[in-house]
Structure 1
């Protein structure tokens, strides 16, 4: 009964904190990070795929879907989150809110998993403090309040760690199988969490030595895990070359892995990822834990976790702070342990409360999630004006936001989108990695838009107009073929790329049925023909 009560209490507290984070989360199609609407759109594709069941030509179905909604990246990312989201879309409809709800269900599972993991070594209140700190850490809360894969992957990962720790404590081999299975599921959500497999191997090897290789179950676990990862490996090698390139080397790396700056880069992110109060306590905890390491049953796991993870992420040339959120688990744990170990009961409780409040303050007041609003309003205008089965041309930085908001309008599933950058440029994944301008004149572009059935254009003024091809596009939009019908502001809580979107109507002789068009998919190095 006492154990059940503790589960209920931990769950209730986590729900209350997550409700506050939900209230702070941008919704209503107000996406910021470019991947977020793409994740939401990928889930919509899976929903439609499972509904239509195009077994005769699934690849053709995916290409046609991309031609209609050219922000689809279904094969570029691990797909598990999309399959988990699909039933929710089927029940409640495709929307930003539903996609975010699925992320928050993972968020709750992540927090509860952190509490359960900490209970292996900590008293009930410090364990709950650890769970609250993990859901409130600024970097984790930044991505957990968006339709992103970090927190869903973390949820699988932390429960994998629970199973692994319980296997070590009790020797039940079934828990080792469960730990491996949950780690595989985590990798099908975000592939970089795979470094934890090396952590498990290092811990077991340290404890069991050569006996590790003589146990058939260990070989079986490894074989089953590798077998389960085969589809993900094939998909990544075939369609995720941009991800492979980010490991091998990118031209716009924040810091080269061949430099000292590259190896210190993730350490320098930790103050903003955790907040200074928690980080200072964590440093104190590491010093104290090092002195007592022989008597701490968790030391080997957390040290291996941080060291292996730090080496892994530092070796990846593309540096982003969100990549290393998986390193924060052992750091936060050591901080909470240090408070429990150093301070008397009442003082310790007060210190833990202070850590939670200070971390929550940093997250809720100083690290809100950026947003850019207005895209849903633009889609409302297009849905009201555009003829049936027509095409909308979009030119702007946040194409994913516009395209997902359009897909969410079930009453206008007849509309398709063309992207101006696809017509006028060849971009190697993102502009920083290289761009080639296509020699399309204003007259040719105007005729092309007529041929493709483009009745309306949505344009971000000044988008990439340092390129001559995009300047030609804007001159065409200012010419007699197009007339402005609306300007929609795009309010944001940060300095965004855009301040408004312009809707224009094509007054030319628009073809009622678009002609075949070749679209280059640089991310997967393919060209498709849209009929």
Structure 2
């Protein structure tokens, strides 16, 4: 069955958009980074509208003091810059953030189809693209406000332009390929491994004569200069990311062990599904035959180097998470697709690809749903209705990012400030597993702090980190006569989440009004914010 290319593309894009019917919304974030990515884009929008050009850093620190989930310089900024006009146009909401991700996802799907068309007929290329787009790991993270799929979108179009360059030799295509790769790095810095892949392919295609090409040197120097700001930001504000490469205390498996170098191989069945991986292994066995039948000179080297360089790159990083290696899944899917398209008849090959794509869709939709934790928007609504003007709301719980983003979503309560209990009681470097220092505050000190900060209402996850003495003292304080329980909200989740409910307390003590000074430690950048609001 040969469909018109435009119809195929439309079907692929519509199918990609339909994946988002299963995306969490209405503030029901799962992964702790997701609401922070969403909030960072809101910050960019607010920054542009406020135009604090005389003191932008002061504005950022004050913004963090009000909404303490901001991580704008901890990650590359491109996704947030792209998100900002969408927030300005459609308003601040979880749904707007998902729309931006969805558009990147659709661009990724289109790019996959365009890349596979270098080797496959239109219909088979669309089915191969569907295999990748609907892969369980990609669809899981791609339907949250995360950076993996936005970066993949830039990467896949960079690869399309690079293949055009290898085919036609036009410098414009190579320039576009490098520009898009730089954009991918400004979205998620680990996309950098594709640069060495391009260099290896150029050396494979042209030998050492490629190093004498002045145009290549000009493009390379321009790319390096374009990345200087990103390197500076990473070294100054992203030390936790640098540490995740060099070594972390809670590494799941050491990169100095064989298990560390096999870790990402073990993730492939869950990332792609067993059927796809089984076909890909068959393609690996028949790789030399496939290279002779289907691929032009250097094409097999392109796919092989993409996987090998990427695999070594991610394996060398001490922090291991399956989502990190979604960048090396395209070569595995390509291998599976190339094998199936070598079946005796084109119709049989297309049917086999369609069946495999359907199996992946079923696994993703029914067996790998996106996780979510609900209830935070409802808690924020209650607080917004009851909190006095210009007061502070304390949050104590695991999902502080969800609470903060939902609070910022309430445009009618921009007067409220969120105070995090962990910022008052503890000093945490990124996450608890990397170290926590308890501040020597007595119960009387804690009570006085809450009054001085203007905290009228407290939103508390029962039992949060109460193995720490500082948090035990906090629990005794809110159990005293100064505080009373006023509401409880369930936080239903589709997995065993850290929390089951959130409890709201009212502070009956002498809560301060008017300007209040707060000191917030930011150990991630070794800085302390002193904010007055």
> What SS class does the counterpart of residue 341 from structure 1 fall into?
coil
> What SS class does the counterpart of residue 129 from structure 2 fall into?
helix
Instruction: Measure, in 2, the Cα distance between the counterparts of 1:90 and 1:266.
Output: 40
Q: Give 1:66-85 correspondences, 5 Å limit.
A: 66-85=64-83
Deviations 1:255-310 (A, max 9, x none): 10100000000000000000000000001011112344356222010000000000
- 1:348 aligns with 349
| Contact 2:16-2:109 within 8 A present in 1 as well | no
Note the C-alpha offset of 1:428. Answer: 1.4
In the alignment, does 2:255 pair up with 1:254? no
> Of residues 211, 214, 220 in structure 2, which corresponds to 1:213?
211
Note the C-alpha offset of 1:7. Answer: 4.2
Deviations 1:294-330 (A, max 9, x none): 5622201000000000000000000000000011000
- 1:189 aligns with 187
Instruction: Measure, in 1, the Cα distance between the counterparts of 2:412 and 2:65.
Output: 19
TM-score normalised by L of structure 2: 0.98
- 1:201 aligns with 199
| Contact 1:452-1:514 within 8 A present in 2 as well | no
In the alignment, does 2:37 pair up with 1:39? yes
Instruction: Measure, in 2, the Cα distance between the counterparts of 1:514 and 1:421.
Output: 22
Instruction: Measure, in 2, the Cα distance between the counterparts of 1:530 and 1:18.
Output: 44
Quickly say closer, same or farther: Cα 1:514–1:483, change in 2 above 3 A: farther
| Contact 1:451-1:514 within 8 A present in 2 as well | no
Q: Give 1:425-444 correspondences, 5 Å limit.
A: 425-444=426-445
| Contact 1:452-1:513 within 8 A present in 2 as well | no
TM-score normalised by L of structure 1: 0.98
After the TM superposition, which parts of structure 1 deviate over 4 Å for at least 4 consecutive aligned residues?
none
| Contact 1:256-1:317 within 8 A present in 2 as well | yes
Q: Give 1:443-462 correspondences, 5 Å limit.
A: 443-462=444-463
Unaligned runs of 5+ in 1: none
Deviations 1:462-497 (A, max 9, x none): 000011110111111111111111001000000000
- 1:165 aligns with 163
Question: What is the aligned-residue RMSD (CA, Å)?
Answer: 1.1
| Contact 1:199-1:301 within 8 A present in 2 as well | yes
Instruction: Measure, in 1, the Cα distance between the counterparts of 2:166 and 2:14.
Output: 33
Note the C-alpha offset of 1:514. Answer: 4.9
Q: Give 1:339-488 correspondences, 5 Å limit.
A: 339-488=340-489
Q: Give 1:10-409 correspondences, 5 Å limit.
A: 10-293=8-291, 296-297=295-296, 298-409=299-410
Deviations 1:209-250 (A, max 9, x none): 111111110001100100110110000000000000000000
Instruction: Measure, in 1, the Cα distance between the counterparts of 2:386 and 2:35.
Output: 24
Note the C-alpha offset of 1:343. Answer: 4.0
> What SS class does the counterpart of residue 286 from structure 2 fall into?
helix
Count of aligned residue pairs for this structure pair = 528
